[in-house]
Amino acid sequence: MSNYIIRRYQPGDEVGIAEAHRESIRRIVAKDYAPQQIDVWAGRIAPEKYVDSMQTKGETFWVLDDNGTIGGFAGWVPGCMYGFYMHPDYAGKGLARRLFEAAEKDMMEHTPSNTCDIDATITARPFYERMGFEVVEQAKHTFGNGTVIDIFKMRKTYQPEPEQTK
């Protein structure tokens, strides 16, 4: 029986995050990109990069924890959802929405602006549109070796909370 918990990163999660990230690229995102692009993209994933991102960029991670197995993750810095990937075994079950909403709520509580930006893959664009994001522009992302993929710069604007009357 699965016991899904959505929670903040804990030390050691980086291995599961890397696995979920890699498998998402290889088995979900691969339908929209060329094999060479997928190989470069998935090949650059390493657990220590998530720890480094937390230490150097202040990135915060949320995970979907299924009894110790990481089923997906969301990473954010203020005003930007930096990464969001689901392991294919956990996709299509409504869990992505729950994970995204938890990370998004946390991000907005720590963001001085009322917007959130995200670089979306071709694959993820429909999900983000369902989450209230709009395409700002089509763009390209270039990996360190010069490999280029098509992406969408997207943004969501949040309405300020109504002032409580006393």
Nearby residues of 36 by Cβ (< 8 Å), 6 or more positions away: 147
Nearby residues of 111 by Cβ (< 8 Å), 6 or more positions away: 78, 79
Report pTM: 0.91
Domain layout of the chain by residue ranges: 4-114
Interval 136-152: pLDDT, tens: 999 999 998 999 999 99
Mean pLDDT calculated for residue range 71-90: 96
Interval 45-59: pLDDT, tens: 999 999 999 999 999
What pLDDT does residue 27 have?
97
* Average pLDDT of the residues of the chain: 94
Taking Cα atoms as reference points, which of 74, 106, 107, 77 lies closest to residue 90? 74
Superfamily of domain 4-114: Gcn5-related N-acetyltransferase (GNAT) (3.40.630.30)
Mean pLDDT calculated for residue range 121-142: 97
